[in-house]
Chains A and B, each alone.
Chain A
Amino acid sequence: MKPRHLVGIWVLLLVLLGVSLLLANLGNVLLATTLIFGVAALKATLVALFYMRLKWEPGYIFAIIFTGLAVVLILFFTLVPDIIYVYGN
Protein backbone atom coordinates (compact mmCIF):
# COMPACT_ATOMS: atom_id res chain seq x y z
CA MET A 1 0.00 0.00 0.00
CA LYS A 2 1.18 3.51 -0.77
CA PRO A 3 1.49 6.16 2.00
CA ARG A 4 -1.60 8.00 0.75
CA HIS A 5 -3.69 4.85 1.24
CA LEU A 6 -2.28 4.43 4.76
CA VAL A 7 -3.11 8.06 5.56
CA GLY A 8 -6.62 7.49 4.13
CA ILE A 9 -7.16 4.59 6.56
CA TRP A 10 -5.95 6.82 9.44
CA VAL A 11 -8.50 9.50 8.45
CA LEU A 12 -11.23 6.85 8.35
CA LEU A 13 -10.19 5.62 11.83
CA LEU A 14 -10.44 9.17 13.19
CA VAL A 15 -13.89 9.61 11.62
CA LEU A 16 -15.02 6.34 13.23
CA LEU A 17 -13.69 7.57 16.59
CA GLY A 18 -15.86 10.68 16.19
CA VAL A 19 -18.86 8.48 15.36
CA SER A 20 -18.24 6.44 18.55
CA LEU A 21 -18.23 9.59 20.67
CA LEU A 22 -21.48 10.80 19.06
CA LEU A 23 -23.13 7.41 19.60
CA ALA A 24 -22.57 7.74 23.37
CA ASN A 25 -25.32 10.38 23.36
CA LEU A 26 -27.97 8.04 21.95
CA GLY A 27 -30.93 7.65 24.28
CA ASN A 28 -31.26 3.89 23.76
CA VAL A 29 -28.53 2.35 25.96
CA LEU A 30 -28.56 -1.12 24.39
CA LEU A 31 -28.51 0.25 20.84
CA ALA A 32 -25.76 2.76 21.69
CA THR A 33 -23.55 0.13 23.35
CA THR A 34 -24.04 -2.33 20.47
CA LEU A 35 -23.22 0.32 17.86
CA ILE A 36 -20.19 1.62 19.82
CA PHE A 37 -18.70 -1.88 20.02
CA GLY A 38 -19.57 -2.48 16.37
CA VAL A 39 -17.60 0.65 15.42
CA ALA A 40 -14.71 -0.47 17.70
CA ALA A 41 -14.67 -3.87 15.95
CA LEU A 42 -14.61 -2.12 12.56
CA LYS A 43 -11.68 0.09 13.66
CA ALA A 44 -9.76 -2.93 15.00
CA THR A 45 -10.41 -4.80 11.73
CA LEU A 46 -9.06 -1.90 9.67
CA VAL A 47 -5.87 -1.73 11.79
CA ALA A 48 -5.41 -5.51 11.69
CA LEU A 49 -6.00 -5.90 7.94
CA PHE A 50 -4.05 -2.92 6.64
CA TYR A 51 -1.57 -1.79 9.30
CA MET A 52 -0.76 -5.27 10.65
CA ARG A 53 -0.94 -6.50 7.03
CA LEU A 54 -3.20 -9.43 7.87
CA LYS A 55 -4.86 -8.99 4.49
CA TRP A 56 -1.73 -10.39 2.88
CA GLU A 57 -0.82 -13.05 5.46
CA PRO A 58 -1.26 -16.80 4.83
CA GLY A 59 -4.10 -18.78 6.44
CA TYR A 60 -2.05 -20.28 9.29
CA ILE A 61 -1.51 -16.80 10.77
CA PHE A 62 -5.31 -16.50 11.01
CA ALA A 63 -5.35 -19.93 12.69
CA ILE A 64 -3.03 -18.59 15.43
CA ILE A 65 -5.29 -15.57 15.98
CA PHE A 66 -8.49 -17.63 16.04
CA THR A 67 -6.89 -20.02 18.56
CA GLY A 68 -6.34 -17.06 20.89
CA LEU A 69 -9.91 -15.87 20.32
CA ALA A 70 -11.25 -19.41 20.90
CA VAL A 71 -9.49 -19.51 24.29
CA VAL A 72 -11.21 -16.23 25.20
CA LEU A 73 -14.63 -17.56 24.11
CA ILE A 74 -14.13 -20.77 26.14
CA LEU A 75 -13.19 -18.67 29.19
CA PHE A 76 -16.21 -16.43 28.66
CA PHE A 77 -18.75 -19.26 28.39
CA THR A 78 -17.27 -21.29 31.24
CA LEU A 79 -17.58 -18.24 33.51
CA VAL A 80 -21.23 -17.61 32.58
CA PRO A 81 -22.58 -20.36 34.92
CA ASP A 82 -20.62 -18.82 37.80
CA ILE A 83 -22.09 -15.42 37.12
CA ILE A 84 -25.63 -16.84 36.88
CA TYR A 85 -25.57 -19.36 39.75
CA VAL A 86 -23.29 -17.55 42.19
CA TYR A 87 -24.72 -14.08 41.68
CA GLY A 88 -28.30 -15.20 41.00
CA ASN A 89 -30.49 -14.67 37.92
Chain B
Amino acid sequence: MKHRLGIWFFLGSEIAVFGGLIACYLLYRFRHPEWGLQAVHTLTGIGAINTVVLLTSSLTMILAHWFVEEDNFKSAANYLGMTILLGIVFLLFKSYEYHHEINQGLVPTKSLFWGFYYLMTGLHALHVIGGLVANGIIWTGLRKGFSTHRIESVGIYWHFVDVVWIFLFPLLYIASSGGAQ
Protein backbone atom coordinates (compact mmCIF):
# COMPACT_ATOMS: atom_id res chain seq x y z
CA MET B 1 0.00 0.00 0.00
CA LYS B 2 2.92 2.34 0.79
CA HIS B 3 4.06 2.48 -2.83
CA ARG B 4 0.51 3.32 -3.99
CA LEU B 5 0.21 6.08 -1.39
CA GLY B 6 3.58 7.47 -2.51
CA ILE B 7 2.68 7.56 -6.18
CA TRP B 8 -0.68 9.20 -5.43
CA PHE B 9 1.01 11.93 -3.35
CA PHE B 10 3.33 12.54 -6.29
CA LEU B 11 0.41 12.63 -8.73
CA GLY B 12 -1.48 15.01 -6.41
CA SER B 13 1.35 17.53 -6.97
CA GLU B 14 1.35 16.76 -10.69
CA ILE B 15 -2.38 17.56 -10.86
CA ALA B 16 -1.53 21.01 -9.45
CA VAL B 17 1.26 21.50 -12.04
CA PHE B 18 -0.68 20.46 -15.16
CA GLY B 19 -3.99 21.76 -13.77
CA GLY B 20 -2.40 25.15 -13.09
CA LEU B 21 -1.10 25.35 -16.64
CA ILE B 22 -4.47 24.33 -18.08
CA ALA B 23 -6.27 26.86 -15.83
CA CYS B 24 -3.97 29.69 -17.03
CA TYR B 25 -4.39 28.60 -20.65
CA LEU B 26 -8.20 28.59 -20.32
CA LEU B 27 -8.29 32.03 -18.72
CA TYR B 28 -6.14 33.52 -21.47
CA ARG B 29 -8.14 31.64 -24.09
CA PHE B 30 -11.39 33.22 -22.85
CA ARG B 31 -9.79 36.64 -23.34
CA HIS B 32 -8.30 35.78 -26.74
CA PRO B 33 -10.85 34.05 -29.00
CA GLU B 34 -8.50 34.80 -31.92
CA TRP B 35 -6.24 32.00 -30.62
CA GLY B 36 -8.59 29.69 -32.51
CA LEU B 37 -7.15 31.04 -35.76
CA GLN B 38 -3.62 30.22 -34.59
CA ALA B 39 -4.61 26.84 -33.22
CA VAL B 40 -5.92 25.59 -36.58
CA HIS B 41 -2.24 25.22 -37.55
CA THR B 42 -1.82 22.33 -35.09
CA LEU B 43 -1.89 18.92 -36.79
CA THR B 44 -5.20 17.50 -35.54
CA GLY B 45 -4.81 14.22 -37.50
CA ILE B 46 -1.45 13.42 -35.91
CA GLY B 47 -2.77 14.54 -32.52
CA ALA B 48 -5.65 12.06 -32.93
CA ILE B 49 -3.27 9.25 -33.96
CA ASN B 50 -1.12 10.04 -30.92
CA THR B 51 -4.24 9.86 -28.72
CA VAL B 52 -4.94 6.36 -30.07
CA VAL B 53 -1.26 5.45 -29.46
CA LEU B 54 -1.38 6.63 -25.83
CA LEU B 55 -4.76 5.01 -25.10
CA THR B 56 -3.43 1.74 -26.55
CA SER B 57 -0.26 2.04 -24.46
CA SER B 58 -2.47 2.41 -21.38
CA LEU B 59 -4.21 -0.84 -22.33
CA THR B 60 -0.92 -2.73 -22.78
CA MET B 61 0.33 -1.24 -19.47
CA ILE B 62 -2.68 -2.47 -17.50
CA LEU B 63 -2.45 -5.87 -19.23
CA ALA B 64 1.23 -6.09 -18.19
CA HIS B 65 0.16 -5.38 -14.61
CA TRP B 66 -2.59 -8.02 -14.86
CA PHE B 67 -0.09 -10.65 -16.03
CA VAL B 68 2.34 -9.77 -13.22
CA GLU B 69 -0.45 -10.48 -10.75
CA GLU B 70 -0.96 -13.83 -12.50
CA ASP B 71 2.81 -14.49 -12.07
CA ASN B 72 3.12 -14.69 -15.86
CA PHE B 73 6.23 -12.51 -16.17
CA LYS B 74 6.94 -13.42 -19.80
CA SER B 75 3.57 -12.09 -21.03
CA ALA B 76 3.89 -9.11 -18.68
CA ALA B 77 7.31 -8.28 -20.17
CA ASN B 78 5.86 -8.54 -23.68
CA TYR B 79 3.01 -6.16 -22.91
CA LEU B 80 5.32 -3.75 -21.10
CA GLY B 81 7.65 -3.90 -24.11
CA MET B 82 4.67 -2.90 -26.31
CA THR B 83 3.94 0.00 -23.94
CA ILE B 84 7.54 1.20 -24.31
CA LEU B 85 7.35 0.92 -28.11
CA LEU B 86 4.07 2.85 -28.20
CA GLY B 87 5.59 5.55 -25.99
CA ILE B 88 8.48 5.88 -28.46
CA VAL B 89 6.00 6.05 -31.37
CA PHE B 90 4.18 8.88 -29.53
CA LEU B 91 7.43 10.83 -29.18
CA LEU B 92 8.33 10.28 -32.84
CA PHE B 93 4.95 11.68 -33.98
CA LYS B 94 5.35 14.59 -31.55
CA SER B 95 8.84 15.29 -32.92
CA TYR B 96 7.42 15.31 -36.46
CA GLU B 97 4.78 17.82 -35.34
CA TYR B 98 7.40 20.10 -33.75
CA HIS B 99 9.56 19.83 -36.88
CA HIS B 100 6.60 20.74 -39.11
CA GLU B 101 5.51 23.66 -36.91
CA ILE B 102 8.99 25.11 -36.40
CA ASN B 103 9.60 24.92 -40.17
CA GLN B 104 6.49 27.08 -40.62
CA GLY B 105 7.86 29.63 -38.17
CA LEU B 106 5.44 28.58 -35.44
CA VAL B 107 8.00 28.78 -32.64
CA PRO B 108 7.33 29.31 -28.89
CA THR B 109 8.01 33.06 -29.18
CA LYS B 110 5.59 33.48 -32.12
CA SER B 111 2.66 34.22 -29.77
CA LEU B 112 1.31 33.41 -26.31
CA PHE B 113 -0.72 30.53 -27.83
CA TRP B 114 2.40 28.87 -29.23
CA GLY B 115 4.23 29.53 -25.95
CA PHE B 116 1.48 27.61 -24.11
CA TYR B 117 1.44 24.92 -26.81
CA TYR B 118 5.15 24.17 -26.54
CA LEU B 119 5.18 24.47 -22.74
CA MET B 120 2.25 22.11 -22.18
CA THR B 121 3.11 19.53 -24.86
CA GLY B 122 6.84 19.75 -24.03
CA LEU B 123 6.23 19.17 -20.31
CA HIS B 124 3.94 16.28 -21.22
CA ALA B 125 6.61 14.82 -23.54
CA LEU B 126 9.16 15.03 -20.70
CA HIS B 127 6.74 13.02 -18.55
CA VAL B 128 6.44 10.45 -21.34
CA ILE B 129 10.26 10.18 -21.42
CA GLY B 130 10.32 9.77 -17.61
CA GLY B 131 7.67 7.05 -17.91
CA LEU B 132 9.69 5.29 -20.60
CA VAL B 133 12.78 5.22 -18.35
CA ALA B 134 10.75 3.82 -15.43
CA ASN B 135 9.04 1.28 -17.71
CA GLY B 136 12.43 0.26 -19.09
CA ILE B 137 13.74 -0.46 -15.57
CA ILE B 138 10.67 -2.58 -14.73
CA TRP B 139 10.86 -4.33 -18.12
CA THR B 140 14.49 -5.32 -17.49
CA GLY B 141 13.47 -6.77 -14.11
CA LEU B 142 10.57 -8.72 -15.61
CA ARG B 143 12.85 -10.15 -18.34
CA LYS B 144 15.07 -11.51 -15.56
CA GLY B 145 12.02 -13.04 -13.90
CA PHE B 146 11.80 -10.71 -10.90
CA SER B 147 8.36 -10.34 -9.43
CA THR B 148 7.82 -6.66 -8.93
CA HIS B 149 4.84 -4.74 -7.66
CA ARG B 150 6.55 -1.53 -8.72
CA ILE B 151 4.82 -2.10 -12.05
CA GLU B 152 1.59 -0.95 -10.38
CA SER B 153 3.11 2.42 -9.39
CA VAL B 154 4.71 2.91 -12.80
CA GLY B 155 1.40 1.94 -14.41
CA ILE B 156 -0.56 4.50 -12.37
CA TYR B 157 1.97 7.16 -13.44
CA TRP B 158 1.71 6.10 -17.11
CA HIS B 159 -2.10 6.26 -17.04
CA PHE B 160 -1.88 9.73 -15.47
CA VAL B 161 0.28 10.89 -18.40
CA ASP B 162 -2.48 9.48 -20.64
CA VAL B 163 -5.17 11.40 -18.69
CA VAL B 164 -3.20 14.66 -19.12
CA TRP B 165 -3.05 14.10 -22.89
CA ILE B 166 -6.81 13.38 -22.94
CA PHE B 167 -7.28 17.02 -21.84
CA LEU B 168 -4.42 18.55 -23.85
CA PHE B 169 -5.76 17.11 -27.11
CA PRO B 170 -9.11 18.96 -27.09
CA LEU B 171 -7.50 22.09 -25.59
CA LEU B 172 -4.83 22.48 -28.26
CA TYR B 173 -6.19 20.55 -31.23
CA ILE B 174 -9.90 19.69 -31.46
CA ALA B 175 -11.52 22.70 -29.81
CA SER B 176 -9.43 24.86 -32.13
CA SER B 177 -10.43 23.34 -35.44
CA GLY B 178 -13.61 23.22 -37.48
CA GLY B 179 -16.59 24.90 -35.92
CA ALA B 180 -15.29 24.97 -32.37
CA GLN B 181 -13.08 28.01 -32.54
Residues of A at the B interface (CB closer than 8 Å) are 1, 3, 6-7, 9-10, 13-14, 17, 20-21, 23-29, 32-33, 36-37, 39-40, 43-44, 47-48, 51-53, 57, 61, 64-65, 67-69, 71-72, 75-76, 79-80, 83, 87
Contact B175 A61 (CB under 8 A): no
Q: Is the interface of A mostly helix, strand, loop or mixed?
A: helix
Contact A64 B52 (CB under 8 A): no
B92 to chain A: which residues have CB within 8 Å? none
Contact B156 A17 (CB under 8 A): no
Q: Within residues 116 to 130 of chain B, which ones have a CB less than 8 A from any CB in chain A?
A: none
Q: A44-B163, A61-B8 are in contact. Are A17 and B180 (CB under 8 A)?
A: no
B19 to chain A: which residues have CB within 8 Å? 68-69, 71-72, 75
Contact B27 A3 (CB under 8 A): no
List of 4 A-B pairs having minimum Cβ-Cβ separation, nearest first:
A68-B15, A72-B19, A32-B180, A68-B12
Q: Does B2 contact A (CB under 8 A)?
A: no
Cβ distance B152 to chain A, nearest Cβ, rounded Å: 8
Cβ distance B59 to chain A, nearest Cβ, rounded Å: 4
Q: Does B93 contact A (CB under 8 A)?
A: no
Q: Does B105 contact A (CB under 8 A)?
A: no
